[in-house]
Amino acid sequence: MSDEQAHTGLFRSIAHRLAGAEEILPDEGGLPSFARATTWLNSDPLTPDGLRGRVVLVDFWTYTCVNWLRTLPYLRAWHDKYESAGLTIIGVHTPEFGFERDLDNITRQSRNLRVEYPIAVDSDYGVWGDFANSYWPAIYIADADGRLRHHHFGEGEYPRTEMVIQRLLVASGAGEVDLDLVMVEPEGLEAAADWASLRSPETYLGYGQSTGFASEDAGLYDRPHVYGGDARLSLNTWTLVGEWTQARHAAVLNGAGGRVAFAFHARDVNLVMGPTVAGSAIPFRVRIDGQPAQDAHGTDVDSGGSGVVQDQKTYQLIRQSGRVRDHVVEIEFQGGGVEAYCFTFG
């Protein structure tokens, strides 16, 4: 028996025990309303009363959040496996960045990400407030009587979450529920982080939340400035080269040839960015320690280290194999009109 088969068998045994262990799922109150959603995708508006009789998993997300992206393969798999047995997943899309309020962006990216379950668009944070939520991602699970029975914030605990789904479906009278756990094979941005080697934190480039900017100068906020860069960057610091405006929300590139560099320690490097003008396409090139990203390129970069900024989204720039150590990644843009929001790592 392989280790994978042994783990699956163990999880199945635990799931059978969990299905009869009602005391481990406390009553956390009634399922809040979705009435303050600004619109819905993939569904007519849903209500707690209309969902009675079904187990409901509410997932708070925003499409650029790398932590949420790494949970998405499980959400898709649970939707595919348990919808017919009585599970409804509702993805509540509450934006972090201003462009994530744009319905066209949400619609396009949810389609690209294959989010096929109902989406409550929560651009005014109404549903977020009614749930008293504070996190992306966040999961809340309600039983068939409309009572919240479980919640989880952040990544991980996938077997535990799935076993709660199974237990509540069994309790709802769903009939025979397959108690094997789903197996997923994430790729690209959806692959779990290499937590053992991760030494670099999420880092914002807009001065409203920025940390680690080697050329930080409050006197330059919100106005164009030609930055010269820093010859040596210490770990988890970054710099700009060329004419940029460091705005509250992002670092905005004003002219061609601008660069942003970050000293990092992680397997993956991602950057939330997009064009300042919808429909623009700005080519860029990624280097690691001064060399084209080639074998270390991410899914949004080709084998020569080149990519194109076309959408406002999270771009995977670097995905390394082998031993992880300190590096400097540099992104050079061949045109202006780029907003760079946030580096994330995996």
In the chain (346 residues long), the average pLDDT of successive 10-residue segments reads: 40 45 74 98 98 98 98 98 98 98 98 98 98 98 98 97 98 92 96 97 98 96 95 94 98 96 98 95 97 95 96 98 96 97 98
- Mind listing the pLDDT tens digit for each residue in 93-144? 999 999 999 999 999 999 999 999 999 999 999 999 999 999 999 999 999 9
217 and 153 both lie in a single domain: no
- Residues 293, 307: Cα–Cα separation, whole Å: 11
pTM of the model: 0.91
Angstrom distances, CA of residue 118 to CA of 36, 42, 72, 254, 264? 15, 5, 14, 39, 37
Looking at residue 172, its pLDDT comes to 95
198 within domain boundaries: no
In terms of residue numbers, what domain contains 243?
A: 203-345
Looking at residue 175, its pLDDT comes to 84
Looking at residue 10, its pLDDT comes to 45
- The CATH number of residue 225's host domain is 2.60.120.260
Looking at residue 26, its pLDDT comes to 87
Q: Both tokens of residue 125?
A: 């944070």
- Residues 228, 93: Cα–Cα separation, whole Å: 39
- The CATH number of residue 185's host domain is 3.40.30.10
213 and 310 both lie in a single domain: yes
Looking at residue 176, its pLDDT comes to 86
Looking at residue 232, its pLDDT comes to 87
How many independent structural domains does the chain possess? Answer: 2
Angstrom distances, CA of residue 271 to CA of 43, 107, 230, 330? 31, 21, 20, 11
- Residues 205, 217: Cα–Cα separation, whole Å: 13
158 within domain boundaries: yes
Which amino acid does the sequence have at 113?
L
